[in-house]
Amino acid sequence: MTYFITTPIYYVNDAPHIGHAYTTIACDILSRYNKLKGDKTFFLTGTDEHGQKVEKAALSKKKDTQNFVDEMSQNFRDLIPFLGCQIDDFIRTTEERHKIATQFLWNKLKDNDQIYLSNYEGWYSIRDEAFYLESELTKTENGLIAPSGAPVEWVKEQSYFFKLSQWEDKLLEYYEKNPDSILPRSRYNEVLSFIRGGLKDLSISRTTFKWGVQVPDTENHVMYVWIDALCNYITALNYPNTDHDSFKTFWPGIHVVGKDILRFHAVYWPAFLMAAGLEPPKQIFAHGWWTNEGQKISKSVGNIINPYEIIDTYGLDQIRFFLFREVPFGNDGDFSKDAIAQRVNADLSNNYGNLIQRISSFIIKNSDSAVSKPQNYKEIDHQLLKSFDETLVNYIKNMNSFQIDKALKNIFDYLSEVNAYVDSQAPWSLKKTDDQRMKDVLYLVTLITIKISVILYPVIPSSIDKALKIYNLSIDNLNLNNIEHFSPDLINLNIPKPLFPRIDL
């Protein structure tokens, strides 16, 4: 199986913040999970560098636009390893390969009679880079605003249009046949009712500024930034060379996006693709929005969360874990210091880290730093192993359906069971009464800990690398296909270092 997963490409008008980090980490988790399943994966991210919003940002900094985007794009690129993410490609819309792909796509749409020249007159929001109908806007003291709260302005210019209205039925038909192609289900319903409400042709070129991909065979039209941006997903697969291995192997892909930009991905993008004779995306997952201690995150409020700061304060895996354990993926979430501390302490420090710490230290002290496979298991041991197998089945089911929070909750419920098993079997008491049984219990708990570590790997990879080193193991040899039956004859242990120090409240 192959798996192509993408983040949105981020606007370079400003520095990356927690929202961008969140989407990128989500895709990293899903990409690592699918690799662990044995899939051939491709994880793409990058930057969206054209359009008025970015041009205005460069102007306000009094910088040359190209220099400005070079610098800003680098900030997004640098953030990736800091987030513990492993990508396969980073795309920038100002690259030559992308210009070739977008202009080819444009010509393809034109050849297929999907584009015509007319005049656009209506509302536009530079902040959202989106056109709005008057009926979508709200009157405020400061004038009309878009549903996102962004200001709008009246635009009147010559423009090329894409015949989006012709794709209403085709889109509905496609989505009715593929109900899991937009997730969560509430978002699917939202998109379908939007399409059923009727689609208007879409303005796809602008003439009042220059910072964009030039429309082929025109003097003064640049492409609307969204047609340019969406095309990144196939540029990276070598479009227009659809016979190329990477296109054949990886398209159609899976787009993870914030709920704010679902319409672009679930309506415009599949319509462009179908109109160009290409397959629509396999799946689109729309996630929720983060607030900071209950408040909307915004520059004007001054409560932007800097990913570097929080990771320096709490630790990388602590943050990765918190973001995906605390809030159901798809829902909005609130970032709060207390919630991080509570979550990390309860799950990572107590339930997981302490288990490793106390059992491995005990083995080093009382069992010559090694445990061997028992001759036979007791009924209670079989129960614990069976419970792991069930946890694994649930984990796979949840991860396959983007329910990362549920997958994690299952693991930690199971870890509570493992801790209860340790308490009830009390190896420290067995030490005085039944040395063999003590060793058997220690082996079993160690084995289970290793299995759990493997399934935690996608979310907290660097900590799991450290944890597995305690057992002289590496993730390179463990995966979702061999973990169920994994049971080596002997496990040698190294002295553990605490993985998750408690966070003071």
- Residue 290 as a binder of ligand MSP (CB under 6 A): the answer is yes
Tokens of 285: 């997952």
Q: Where are the beta strands (DSSP E) in 49-198?
A: 89-92, 115-125, 130-132, 138-140, 143-145, 153-162, 182-183
Query: β-strands 222-223, 490-492: how paired?
Result: unpaired
Closest CA to 492 of 476, 469, 475, 462: 469
Q: What minimum distance in Å lies between the beta carbon of 341 and ligand MSP?
A: 21
Amino acid, res. 168: E
Tokens of 161: 């249009």
Q: Return d(Cα 450, Cα 467) in angstroms, integer.
A: 8
Q: What minimum distance in Å lies between the beta carbon of 232 and ligand MSP?
A: 6
Q: Which one of residues 122, 151, 252, 258 is an interface residue with ligand MSP (CB under 6 A)?
A: 258
Specify the residue, 48 or 405, whose C-beta has the smaller distance to ligand MSP. 48
Q: Are residues 491 and 428 in contact, defined by beta-carbon separation less than 8 angstroms?
A: no
Residue found by looking up tokens 């983007």 in the block: 402
Q: Are residues 19 and 79 in contact, defined by beta-carbon separation less than 8 angstroms?
A: no
Specify the residue, 126 or 257, whose C-beta has the smaller distance to ligand MSP. 257
Specify the residue, 171 or 392, whose C-beta has the smaller distance to ligand MSP. 171
Closest CA to 44 of 306, 246, 274: 246
- Residue 261 as a binder of ligand MSP (CB under 6 A): the answer is yes
Q: Which one of the spans 177-185, 257-265, 350-358, 414-422 is the region binding ligand MSP (CB under 6 A)? A: 257-265
Site residues for ligand MSP, 5-64, by CB under 6 A, read 8-11, 19-20, 22-23, 48
Distances (CA, A) of 174 to 166, 267, 284: 14, 11, 13
- Residue 253 as a binder of ligand MSP (CB under 6 A): the answer is no
Q: What minimum distance in Å lies between the beta carbon of 138 and ligand MSP?
A: 21
Q: Which residue is nearest to ligand MSP (CB)?
A: 19
Q: What minimum distance in Å lies between the beta carbon of 21 and ligand MSP?
A: 9
Counting residues that bind ligand MSP (by CB under 6 A) gives 19
- Residue 407 as a binder of ligand MSP (CB under 6 A): the answer is no
Q: Which one of residues 36, 257, 316, 415 is an interface residue with ligand MSP (CB under 6 A)?
A: 257
Residue found by looking up tokens 């004007």 in the block: 300
Q: What minimum distance in Å lies between the beta carbon of 16 and ligand MSP?
A: 8
Can you state the angle between helices 404-425 and 354-366, rounded to 10 degrees?
40
Site residues for ligand MSP, 194-233, by CB under 6 A, read 229-230, 232
Which residues are paired to 154 by β-bridges? 123
Residues found near ligand MSP in the complex (CB under 6 A): 8-11, 19-20, 22-23, 48, 229-230, 232, 257-258, 260-261, 289-290, 297
